[in-house]
Amino acid sequence: MKTVIYHNNRCGKSRCALQVLEESGKPFELIEYLKTPLTATEIRDLLKKLGKKPLEIIRTKEAVFRENYQGKNLTDEGWITALVEHPILIERPIIVRGDKAWIARDEAGLEKI
Catalytic residues: 11
Measured CA angle at 99 (ends 76, 58), to 5 deg: 30
| Angle at which helices 76-85 and 40-50 cross, to 10° | 120
Q: Is the dihedral of CA 31, 99, 79, 59 positive or negative?
A: negative
CB 68 within 8 A of CB 88: no
Distance CA 44, CA 52 (A): 10
CA terminus-to-terminus distance, the chain: 12
